């Protein structure tokens, strides 16, 4: 993919460390097209960098970044171009995933994408004025929303697309021949698993068209990041995918560590893998339990939630918090494992195994369960990739994409586990993939238990890790070191860098622009739930109301991560 692009665009500049290919503004659309033809089928992210007040002067104020992953999933490539004006061409005709991603760029930076089917705000509310992620927008300037948005125009466009209504010259829509009922599923509906508004056009109980409105949980994560030091951001990452907080901690810390060129001590790596797999299990348990309740299978909820409770006890013992762990630090982690953790973990793993097996026993051969889930809201492999799905949702469609095996990081190369794939991509597959992934995560944890090496839990680098308390209180260097690290933060050399891990819901990546100071110039999260939610509309149209509710659970939308 890279070679083909370099051959085609001779003047392009490739930055090895950042994995960024810089192109001219007029070439970028063609380059994205070529990248797609050369096998770059998964569009991970589109974002903008605002270089206003950047430490080193740049050609233009805005730069546009495309992040594209190759179909072998082993490599990704970032395409970058500077924008002379605040506008670009939409790639939503190539990637369906681009639709929402471009809307986000417009929303946050005010970049207009030409030929975009529906360019309007997505994370910020419709009454918002200005573009919050621009550097000249003050972080303190919050804006209130006084009225909910009217989704009817968007719904009319959707119905027009489906040929159910027509539009005359004055722009008036005709009445639909079917007697449609418009209904809001959410933002406060028992089945929205967070705060999401799905506006559906119903024909009886069949969802004819759907329009989703997100952003109810938008709290300006990325803007906050630009105003905090790297270590201060870690508690914010907890709130992304709050069902598996440590995974987000690791994803962020790992990106920054790679930017700093740090290698973690083996013990730290092993602990990270261990807690990540445990949080993966917890997240899957939450997803499965909530989803089975949506189906009316109440009992499974407690069978799956009780072991999670024990796991949370472990987390609160280890990190001091049940949900928002903030366990990781740049260059290591906050605490070492406590004495006797192995026994606790063994009990937890036994409980999880038992919970999973009895819960599976209740549904595995249940005809009602099969009828409710099999061939319901299916999405084919190629569609799923184009829609930007990742993680269990993509694997359920039969795509063998797991960063842990495709591009192994940490210990995953030496650990023995299977990548679980489905075949149809329906709700049944998504449930079963998650059930089996719990077992695989248990398998990984079993291999790690008893094999965690001794040693430090943080890198031995005074410019990254806080000195010990004895040092802080006992020596002037220690005090100074502590003071500087707290006040100025870990200084990351100027660069643009993307790194990712396989989080519970898919590829969780951080794209960070560092300017050499202790605070990032820009942070962009590639959030798996965002892609999943943008695919939701296509998945549910044509199915029943009951299926739409189930499907929302099955793609495991975590609003904290989607809305940021």
Partner 1 sequence: METAYLIETVIKIVTILLVFSALAGIGTYFERKVLAFMQRRLGPMNVGPYGIAQVAADGIKLFTKEDIVPTNVVGPIFKIAPVITAATAFMAAAAIPFLPSFEIGGYVVNPIVSDINVGILYVLAVMAVGFYGPLLGGMASANKYALLSAARGAAVFISYEVITGLSLLAPLMMVGSFSLIDLNNFQIEGYWMVVYQPVAMVLFLIAGFAETGRTPFHLVANDHEIIDGFGTEYSGMRWGLFFIGEYANMFFYAFLISILFFGGFGDGSVLGAFALLGKVSFFFFFFLWTRAAWPDVRPDQLMWLCWKVLMPLAVINIVITGFVMMF
> Which residues of the shown chain bind partner 1 in the complex (CB under 8 A)?
181, 183, 189-191, 202, 204-205, 292-299, 301-303, 306, 362-363, 366, 368-369, 371-372, 544-547, 549
CB of 195 to partner 1, least distance (A): 16
CB of 210 to partner 1, least distance (A): 15
Judged by beta carbon, residue 508 or residue 550, the one nearer partner 1 is 550
Judged by beta carbon, residue 40 or residue 194, the one nearer partner 1 is 194
CB of 559 to partner 1, least distance (A): 18
117: helix, coil or strand? Answer: coil
Task: Name the pairing type of β-strands 332-333 and 62-69.
Answer: unpaired
Judged by beta carbon, residue 13 or residue 368, the one nearer partner 1 is 368
Judged by beta carbon, residue 119 or residue 311, the one nearer partner 1 is 311
Judged by beta carbon, residue 186 or residue 467, the one nearer partner 1 is 186
Backbone angles phi, psi at 328, to 5 degrees: -90, 155
Judged by beta carbon, residue 449 or residue 544, the one nearer partner 1 is 544
Query: What Cα–Cα distance (Å) separates residue 295 from each residue in 200, 375, 436, 549, 556?
Result: 20, 15, 20, 9, 15
Q: What is the CA radius of gyration of the chain?
A: 24
CB of 544 to partner 1, least distance (A): 6
CB of 209 to partner 1, least distance (A): 16
Q: Are 420 and 397 in contact (CB under 8 A)?
A: no
Judged by beta carbon, residue 135 or residue 189, the one nearer partner 1 is 189
CB of 164 to partner 1, least distance (A): 19
Judged by beta carbon, residue 351 or residue 383, the one nearer partner 1 is 351
Judged by beta carbon, residue 204 or residue 516, the one nearer partner 1 is 204
- Which residues are CB-contacts of 265 (< 8 A; sequence separation ≥ 6)? 332, 455, 456, 457, 458, 459, 460
Q: Are 449 and 342 in contact (CB under 8 A)?
A: yes
Nearest to 421 by CA among 432, 412, 410: 432
CB of 149 to partner 1, least distance (A): 19
Number of C-beta neighbours around residue 72 at 10 A: 12
CA atoms within 13 A on the CB side of 458: 20
CA atoms within 13 A on the CB side of 13: 8
Judged by beta carbon, residue 137 or residue 301, the one nearer partner 1 is 301
CA atoms within 13 A on the CB side of 191: 20
Distance of CA 59 to the CA centre of its chain: 31
CB of 299 to partner 1, least distance (A): 5
Number of C-beta neighbours around residue 464 at 10 A: 22
**Residues listed for the chain:** 564
Residue with tokens 């990254």: 464
CB of 368 to partner 1, least distance (A): 5
Rounded Cα distance, 17 and 512, in Å:
13
The Cα diameter of the chain in Å comes to 81
- With 0-12 / 13-18 / 19 or more C-beta atoms within 10 angstroms meaning exposed / middle / buried, residue 103 is buried
Rounded Cα distance, 113 and 92, in Å:
10
CB of 560 to partner 1, least distance (A): 22
CB of 301 to partner 1, least distance (A): 8
Judged by beta carbon, residue 502 or residue 547, the one nearer partner 1 is 547
Residue with tokens 């184009």: 386
291: helix, coil or strand? Answer: helix
Helix-strand-coil percent breakdown of the chain, rounded to 5? 45, 15, 40
């Amino acid at each position: 993919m890279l070679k083909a692009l370099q051959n085609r665009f001779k003047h392009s500049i490739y930055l090895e460390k950042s994995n960024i290919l810089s192109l001219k503004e007029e070439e970028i659309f063609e380059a994205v097209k070529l990248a797609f033809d050369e096998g770059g089928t998964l569009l991970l992210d589109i974002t903008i960098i605002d270089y206003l007040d950047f430490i080193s002067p740049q050609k233009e104020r805005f730069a546009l970044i495309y992040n594209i992953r190759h179909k072998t999933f082993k490599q990704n490539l970032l395409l970058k171009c500077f924008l002379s004006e605040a506008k670009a061409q939409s790639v939503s005709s190539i990637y369906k995933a681009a639709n929402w991603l471009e809307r986000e760029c417009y929303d946050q930076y005010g970049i207009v994408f030409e030929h975009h089917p529906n360019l309007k705000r997505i994370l910020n509310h419709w009454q918002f004025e200005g573009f919050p992620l621009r550097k000249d927008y003050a972080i303190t300037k919050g804006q209130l929303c006084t009225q909910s948005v009217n989704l009817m125009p968007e719904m009319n466009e959707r119905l027009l697309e489906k040929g159910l209504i027509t539009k005359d010259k004055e722009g008036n829509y005709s009445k639909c021949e079917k007697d449609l009922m418009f209904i809001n599923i959410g933002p406060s509906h028992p089945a929205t698993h967070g705060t999401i508004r799905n506006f559906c056009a119903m024909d009886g109980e069949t969802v004819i068209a759907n329009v989703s409105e997100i952003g109810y949980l938008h709290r300006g994560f990325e803007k906050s990041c630009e105003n905090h030091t790297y270590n201060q951001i870690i508690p914010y990452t907890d709130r992304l995918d709050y069902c598996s907080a440590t995974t987000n901690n690791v994803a962020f810390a790992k990106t920054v560590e790679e930017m700093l060129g740090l290698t973690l001590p083996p013990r730290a790596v092993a602990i990270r893998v261990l807690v990540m797999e445990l949080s993966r299990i917890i997240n899957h348990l939450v997803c499965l339990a909530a989803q089975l309740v949506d189906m009316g299978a109440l009992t499974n909820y407690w069978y799956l939630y009780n072991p999670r409770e024990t796991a949370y006890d472990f987390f609160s013992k280890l990190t001091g918090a049940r949900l928002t762990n903030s366990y990781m630090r740049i260059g290591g982690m906050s605490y070492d494992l406590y004495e006797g953790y192995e026994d606790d973990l063994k009990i937890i793993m036994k409980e999880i195994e038992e919970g999973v097996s009895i819960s599976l026993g209740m549904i595995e051969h249940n005809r009602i369960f099969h009828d409710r889930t099999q061939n319901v809201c299916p999405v084919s492999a190629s569609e799923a990739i184009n829609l930007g799905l990742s993680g269990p949702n993509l694997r359920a469609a039969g795509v063998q994409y797991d960063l842990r095996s495709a591009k192994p990081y940490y210990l995953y190369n030496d650990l023995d586990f299977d990548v679980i794939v489905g075949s149809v991509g329906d709700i049944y597959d998504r449930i079963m993939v998650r059930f089996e992934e719990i077992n695989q995560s248990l398998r990984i944890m079993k291999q790690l238990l008893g094999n965690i090496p001794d040693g430090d839990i943080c890198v031995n680098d005074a410019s990254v890790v806080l000195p010990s308390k004895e040092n802080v209180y006992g020596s002037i260097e220690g005090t100074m070191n502590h003071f500087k690290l707290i006040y100025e933060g870990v200084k990351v050399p100027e660069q643009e860098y993307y790194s990712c891990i396989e989080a519970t819901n898919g590829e969780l990546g951080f794209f960070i622009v560092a300017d050499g100071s202790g605070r990032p110039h820009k942070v962009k999260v590639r959030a798996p739930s965002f892609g999943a939610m943008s695919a939701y509309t296509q998945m549910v149209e044509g199915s029943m109301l009951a299926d739409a509710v189930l499907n929302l659970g099955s793609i495991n939308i975590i609003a904290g991560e989607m809305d940021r």
